[in-house]
Structure 1
Amino acid sequence: TIWRHFRSKESCAEPIVMRGVVTLMGVLRRWPRQISLEDHLTAEITGLGHETPHVDLADEMLAMKMIRLADTEPLLRATWLMACQQTEREICVIIGDRLRRPAGDLGVRMHSAAAAAVLRVLDEHIGAAVLTGADLMEFADARAAARRFSHAIRAATGGAVGDPVV
């Protein structure tokens, strides 16, 4: 197996799992203040589908499978949870900026934790679908996927995150 070429199973999986985090953080960092999260995600997801090389899309699907395998592989779970922690830290900065509050503010941290949890759960849901070979049409519609993510984040943050800000 490929694992034998790495010092450990998790060191092999880490760059694959982190790839999705890097992609997501790039999308969120580009979120213009005057646009809703749903509209921004729709544009970004549509763009990713058209502009991303097939190899990168295949890597994203591999990351989704790794995320799902983390349910049964403790070392992969640790890697996945470290990626989620990194996501939460980076979301603190993004949400803090949008709310014009410091990233370390308790409210900002709570909203970031809630948003990161939404992303984790939805990524695990998608990973399960990919791994089981389910029909992925549920995730193919950019607007529907953007709506699912943005509405879940808005609900988890009590409406504090998701709308345009001035």
Structure 2
Amino acid sequence: MTTSTRKPGAMSELRRRRVRLEISREAARLFWEQGVAATSGEQIAASVGLSVRTLWRHFRTKESCAEPIVARSAEWFVTALHRWPPELSIEDHLAATRAELRRTPEELADDLAGVRMMVLGDTEPALRSAWLMTCDHVEKELAAVIADRLGRPADDVEVRTHAAAAGGAMRVLNESLGPAVLAGEDLTGIPDPFQSMARVVRVATSGAVGDPVDS
């Protein structure tokens, strides 16, 4: 009889990520509803049925509880980048990604929470760090994708420069759209965000990245 095996700690790591995300969801809700200053670690812990001691095992400060929900909002873009086939332009790839994208209500709620924390970060420096950490992660992922498409190492200066420019432009785009989304403004006049992201990458890299490449 054969038995399945798994790496030691694999399930515990999965459980840890789930707990961190659940804490982050509740922290983001409390921060948005009552403000960061009025929210305590005790409140966050109680909202997910954990002890304060357990909360501090997962997060170093109450503000850092926002990090997983903010990072989650960028996961789809990072995933899309790594699935970008060489034979497609970035516009065609992101258009196809949009057609294939099926966001669950939970994912949409997480996206909204991430946008709220990004916007709240304008007046809360400790929350701002969570958003900037996510932007830094996206920049590193961009560097890996750009390096692959240009056939250069990820630490190549030109690759890193392209990634920094594209990552910075993506940050500006998100920060520009975020307040409008939360205000419930009519976004029909705003260009397709997927195509806006494609254009940002192409323009920020001066056209070096965006076209199909030879395999």
What is the identity, as a one-letter code, of the residue corresponding to 1:157? Answer: T
Residue from 60, 79, 94 that aligns with 1:26: 79
Shift of 1:81: 0.7
Residue from 70, 92, 99 that aligns with 2:143: 92
Is the 2:90–2:210 Cα contact (8 Å) retained in structure 1?
yes
Residue from 145, 162, 166 that aligns with 2:210: 162
Q: Which residue of 2 aligns with 1:106?
A: 157
Q: Which structure is higher in RCO with an 8 Å CA cutoff and minimum separation 6? A: 1
What is the identity, as a one-letter code, of the residue corresponding to 2:115? Answer: M
- TM-score, structure 1 as length reference: 0.89
What is the identity, as a one-letter code, of the residue corresponding to 2:92? Answer: D
Pair member with larger Rg: 2
Unaligned runs of 5+ in 1: none
Shift of 1:79: 1.1
Percent identity reads 45
Shift of 1:14: 0.4
Is the 1:27–1:41 Cα contact (8 Å) retained in structure 2?
yes
Question: CA separation in 1, counterparts of 2:131 and 2:193?
Answer: 22
What is the identity, as a one-letter code, of the residue corresponding to 1:28? Answer: L
- TM-score, structure 2 as length reference: 0.69
Shift of 1:52: 1.8
Residue from 39, 49, 62 that aligns with 2:113: 62
Q: Which residue of 1 aligns with 2:88?
A: 35
**RMSD over aligned Cα, in angstroms?**
1.7
Question: CA separation in 1, counterparts of 2:160 and 2:125?
Answer: 27
Q: Deviating runs (4+, > 6 A) in structure 1?
A: none
Is the 2:147–2:159 Cα contact (8 Å) retained in structure 1?
yes
Shift of 1:31: 0.5
Shift of 1:126: 2.0
Shift of 1:146: 2.5
Number of corresponding residues: 161
Q: Which has the higher helix share?
A: 1
Return closer, same or farther for 1:92/1:128 CA change in 2, 3 Å cut-off: same
Residue from 170, 179, 190 that aligns with 1:128: 179
Secondary structure of 1:146's counterpart equals helix
Is the 2:64–2:127 Cα contact (8 Å) retained in structure 1?
no
Q: Deviations over 1:52-109 (max 9, x none)?
A: 2111112112211211111111011111111111111111111000100000000000
What is the identity, as a one-letter code, of the residue corresponding to 2:80? Answer: V
Question: CA separation in 2, counterparts of 1:161 and 1:77?
Answer: 29
Question: CA separation in 2, counterparts of 1:10 and 1:40?
Answer: 36
Question: CA separation in 2, counterparts of 1:79 and 1:145?
Answer: 22
Secondary structure of 2:143's counterpart equals helix
Is the 1:66–1:127 Cα contact (8 Å) retained in structure 2?
no
What is the identity, as a one-letter code, of the residue corresponding to 2:122? Answer: D
Question: CA separation in 2, counterparts of 1:53 and 1:131?
Answer: 19
Unaligned runs of 5+ in 2: 1-29, 32-38, 45-54
